[in-house]
Amino acid sequence: MKTNRIYETDGHIFSFDAVVVDCVGVETGYALALDQTAFFPGGGGQDPDEGELNGEAVIRLFEKDGLIYHVVAQPVPVGETVHGELNEVLRFRRMQQHSGEHVLSGLAHTLFGCENVGFHMSDDFVTVDFDRPLTAGQIASLEQKANEAVYANAAIRCEKPEAAALKTIEYRSKLDLTENVRLVIIEGIDVCACCAPHVRRTGEIGLIKVLSFMNYKGGVRLTVKSGGDALADYAAKGAQTSELIAMLCAKEADIPALVRKLQEEAASLRLALAQEQRLRAAAMVEAVEQTDGNAAVFGEGLSADALRFAVNEGVSRTGGLFAAFTPAEAGYRYCMGSKTVDLSAFAKAFHAALGGRGGGKPNMIQGSVPADRNQIEEFLMK
């Protein structure tokens, strides 16, 4: 005996009665096989349905020898009738995503000769992989045609043709099946082998939106949302745009140009700041007298670049090491350089004495030290 799969002929049946034909204990409870079920056990990139049997949550679904088993907490004797209720919202959402993918893949095949070589549906989005690259223009036209197929409200039906009849039908398929093939037929748009539940007409899919695409394994991967998920995505993007409008006091259409202008301004300010810091660092180094020992400069708010610049400028003024410090959250950040002292060894002692950390090369190290200026100077002048 086999379970009659209600979802194969009608994806809109969300509640049903069925007779228990097998009940076995499993790790997480009891697995009930039913004479018929509306629960899709999962497959082909789509997760299993969720819902309840006799008010008990269906923990897991699996197939064995043509039967679909529903794992629940309590056993039900063979021969008894159970009532099943699916999570209708989740199921419909997934049907919108899945039927949307068929429309997109069918049209990509017809328009550009693409084969669908991957399909994955997560709770957040759907990815569709095609075996050849597509340009942004091709993807835009594919999306346009897919939505025209939605406006056409084409019928979607499922069939299991006999082996002989199947040979005469052209259909998309990832597997080389010849028997028991279930075809999902979208009138005038696509024929594809598939085991999952689908909506009845393309109009139910709603918007089909390609969110992004990337080169993938010699082809292209599209990230797609359809129906309610696409609408929710639009709402989220609308909220983000409203926030940007408020932050920038700009019209929606002016946001990209304004952000570009802000980026350019920020870049030129960063450059001016870096130049100013280097000038300041150079002036500090200038004030240091030539010495055979160590020397150090301390400056407020110096960047890592300015510290390095000071050390490079100052290192020839000393016979030992030259260090530049700037205040940090706790203590100081520093850079030191030397032509004579092995700084790897020096840093070890410096960090051990003052609790600092850092690293670099024997002739230049950078780090931080949670000590005050007196402690640092005392150590350096030893």
Interacting residues toward Zn ion by CB under 5 A: 194
**Judged by CB, which is closer to Zn ion: 121, or 307?**
121
- Phi-psi group of 337: left, alpha or beta (phi > 0 → left; psi -120 to 50 → alpha; rest → beta): beta
* Cβ 186 to Zn ion shortest distance, Å: 11
* Cβ 185 to Zn ion shortest distance, Å: 12
**Judged by CB, which is closer to Zn ion: 222, or 323?**
222
- HSE value, Cβ hemisphere, 13 Å, CA-based, for 103: 39
**Judged by CB, which is closer to Zn ion: 172, or 317?**
172
- Amino acid code (one letter) for 137: G
* Cβ 211 to Zn ion shortest distance, Å: 20
Q: What is the Cα gyration radius of the chain?
A: 34
Residues 6+ apart with CB under 8 A from 241: 252, 255
Alpha-helical (H) ranges within 223-337 are 227-248, 255-286, 304-314
Alpha carbon separation from 153 to 206, 209, 299 (Å, rounded): 10, 17, 71
d(CA 138, CA 96): 23
**Judged by CB, which is closer to Zn ion: 101, or 313?**
101
**Judged by CB, which is closer to Zn ion: 20, or 158?**
158
Residues 6+ apart with CB under 8 A from 149: 103, 107, 186, 189, 202
The residue count for the chain: 382
DSSP state of 115: P
103 touches 68 (CB < 8 A): no
**Judged by CB, which is closer to Zn ion: 122, or 340?**
122
* Cβ 192 to Zn ion shortest distance, Å: 6
**Judged by CB, which is closer to Zn ion: 94, or 333?**
94
* Cβ 187 to Zn ion shortest distance, Å: 16
The closest alpha carbon to 335, from 346, 353, 322, belongs to: 322
* Cβ 196 to Zn ion shortest distance, Å: 5
* Cβ 98 to Zn ion shortest distance, Å: 6
